Structure 1
Amino acid sequence: MMSENERRLVDGCATFYKASKYTLVEKHLIEFSAVAMQRPDFKKTDDMFNRVLGKDHIAVVTLLENKETGTRIIIANTHLHWDPAYRDVKLVQVALLIEEVEKIAQNFAKYPPRLPPTPSSAASSSTSPSVSENNASSRPPPVYSDGYKIPVIVCGDFNSIPNSGVYEFLSNGTIAPDHEDFMSHTYGKYTTEGIRHRLGMKSAYAATGEPPFTNFTTSFYDPIDYIWYSTSHLSVNSVLGPVDPAYIEKQVGFPNAHFPSDHLAIVSEFRLRPQREVAPPTARPPPVFPESSRAHA
């Protein structure tokens, strides 16, 4: 059992998945302070020791494979530091997270695809009411040439509002080394070369606009939780709408009798975008030379 003081110093995340549909291939725990210590360019940085290492925030990365189609997906779930006075730490944490997700994705792409369904398993699946699922199960599993071909979702409590450096980095894929959210602190290559990623992500709520808030207390009212997805591989079907404004007007903050947390749940339904098929090269017909044509005329 942990004491109350110990609980305040321990961060946690959980990711749940539908075990009947997906196989858990691998899971990774990312402790931002531990990852930061492994970077040679951070080891001589006082700001890293004084500001980053004292934080216990983490992320969980889950590698899943669809049992029927072999389609893969990577889910990252995280909790970043909360204090607005440490927005530099939040930016460092999210940069470390995305770097780790990219590395994990590249390794995941090297895993061989699952075996295609056997004739007996394909026959047994014919009793399923879904014709599309039967067709999917009869296709060979996808092959991923690199990690950027695997669908990625990065979600969680980012403790950052939409005009923050964290939001800018995730949506634009780049942050300048002198970005104001670094707050003039020094973080190795991050503050000499900037940070960037190639995941091509958007917030699931980008099309509808972020909710008015995802955290609601007596002193704070803003969106700070997000679901980011790789737009090349996923499309948004729908998102959960906001709480009725008429209800909110009568509240002073959460939690209350109807909402058990100061954070609201955000939900998005995705669909996989079809992979671009590369057409096999067609055989070139043999050349016909004029001389040979005349010889046979």
Structure 2
Amino acid sequence: MTAPRRYALIERQVIEFNQVALGKAEMRTEDMFNRVMSKDNISVACLLESTTTDSRLVVANAHIHWDPLYRDVKLVQVAMLIEEIEKLREQFARFPPKPPKDCGNGGGAGVGKRPFSRYQDPSHIAAIICGDFNSVPHSAVYEFLSEGTVAADHEDFMTHQYGHYTNRGLYHKMGLKSAYAHIGELPLTNYTPGFEGAIDYIWYTTSTLAVTELLGEVDKQYLSRVVGFPNAHFPSE
């Protein structure tokens, strides 16, 4: 016997960062064309609705460009990711609620009626953003996600020009926190002969969600017996 679904999938969208960049006419700089649009990284975002309470949730899984020589691209991709998720929350807030179970069953006047939308403010829709950000905790990507802002002259832009991103800086008001920030982040989520460190994260909106439990770090004895981590037995995202 299968367990009942807790959330129903309302909509799924693929966010292609090079296509998002292409649509930003005010930011079509040479660096945007040569450095960002040439990368094929994506994110998948799902709009979910609780089957019991009708509460809504946006869950996104992202894979950000890997190369440390392109930390400006990582930052631009994450900035676009947050903008797209904020747009999705605004759209989702306007979606009408699903029809009540008794709709059309001959109920009396007013039975089962709901307002057009219970979400007058998109920020009330919870969000989880997870994935491989290929960025360590002292990076601009981490700073932007956790603090909500990055200065226009941040060193991770590497003097490249990205329109208002590098004219005014980055800003968001999602109120995100890394799930593992409670313990100061994991020592590592990636382990290779040439690198070990934390680059994978689970971010959540603190105004609507809370962490209740966490998995511990990767067992060091296990790491001593494998070539790298993540691997086929323990994928990253």
TM-score, structure 2 normalization: 0.88
Structure of higher CA gyration radius: 1
1:47-81 Cα shifts (integer Å, max 9, x gaps) = 11111111000011100001111011000110000
Give the alignment partner of residue 46 of structure 1, picking from 15, 26, 30. Answer: 30
1:112-136 Cα shifts (integer Å, max 9, x gaps) = 22334539x9xxxxxxxxxxxxxxx
Q: CA deviation at 1:42?
A: 1.6
Give the alignment partner of residue 82 of structure 1, picking from 66, 87, 90. Answer: 66
Separation of aligned partners in 2, 1:31 and 1:171? 23
Other structure's SS at 2:168 match? coil
Q: Which residue of 2 aligns with 1:208?
A: 183
Is 1:260 aligned to 2:226, yes or no? no
Is 1:173 aligned to 2:173, yes or no? no
Separation of aligned partners in 2, 1:183 and 1:19? 50
1:220-257 Cα shifts (integer Å, max 9, x gaps) = 10010000000000000111111223443x3463159x
Is the 2:132–2:236 Cα contact (8 Å) retained in structure 1? Answer: no
Separation of aligned partners in 2, 1:254 and 1:60? 26
Q: Which residue of 1 aligns with 2:205?
A: 230
Q: CA deviation at 1:20?
A: 2.1
Letter in 2 for 1:46: E
1:239-290 Cα shifts (integer Å, max 9, x gaps) = 1111223443x3463159xx526x7558xxxxxxxxxxxxxxxxxxxxxxxx
Aligned residues between the structures: 226
Is the 1:178–1:194 Cα contact (8 Å) retained in structure 2? Answer: yes
Q: Which residue of 2 aligns with 1:186?
A: 161
Q: Which residue of 1 aligns with 2:7?
A: 22
Is the 1:88–1:185 Cα contact (8 Å) retained in structure 2? Answer: yes
Pairing of 1:114-193 with structure 2 (within 5 A): 114-118=98-102, 143-193=118-168
Separation of aligned partners in 1, 2:185 and 2:235? 13
- Judged with a 3 Å threshold, the aligned counterparts in structure 2 of structure 1 residues 66 and 51 are, in CA distance, closer, same or farther, namely same
Other structure's SS at 1:88 match? helix
- Judged with a 3 Å threshold, the aligned counterparts in structure 2 of structure 1 residues 222 and 19 are, in CA distance, closer, same or farther, namely farther
Is the 1:110–1:146 Cα contact (8 Å) retained in structure 2? Answer: no
Is the 2:62–2:130 Cα contact (8 Å) retained in structure 1? Answer: yes
Separation of aligned partners in 1, 2:101 and 2:176? 32
CA RMSD of aligned residues (A): 2.3
Letter in 2 for 1:33: N
Q: CA deviation at 1:19?
A: 7.6
Query: Which shifted more, 183-192 or 19-28?
Result: 19-28
Q: Which residue of 2 aligns with 1:55?
A: 39
Separation of aligned partners in 2, 1:185 and 1:243? 37
Separation of aligned partners in 2, 1:34 and 1:79? 15
Letter in 1 for 2:27: F
1:94-149 Cα shifts (integer Å, max 9, x gaps) = 00000000011001001122334539x9xxxxxxxxxxxxxxxx9x7981112111
Letter in 2 for 1:48: M
Separation of aligned partners in 2, 1:80 and 1:100? 15
- Judged with a 3 Å threshold, the aligned counterparts in structure 2 of structure 1 residues 53 and 223 are, in CA distance, closer, same or farther, namely same
Identical aligned residues as a percent = 51
Pairing of 1:235-246 with structure 2 (within 5 A): 235-246=210-221
Q: Which runs of 5+ in 2 are unaligned?
A: 106-111
- Judged with a 3 Å threshold, the aligned counterparts in structure 2 of structure 1 residues 237 and 48 are, in CA distance, closer, same or farther, namely same
Is the 1:200–1:230 Cα contact (8 Å) retained in structure 2? Answer: yes
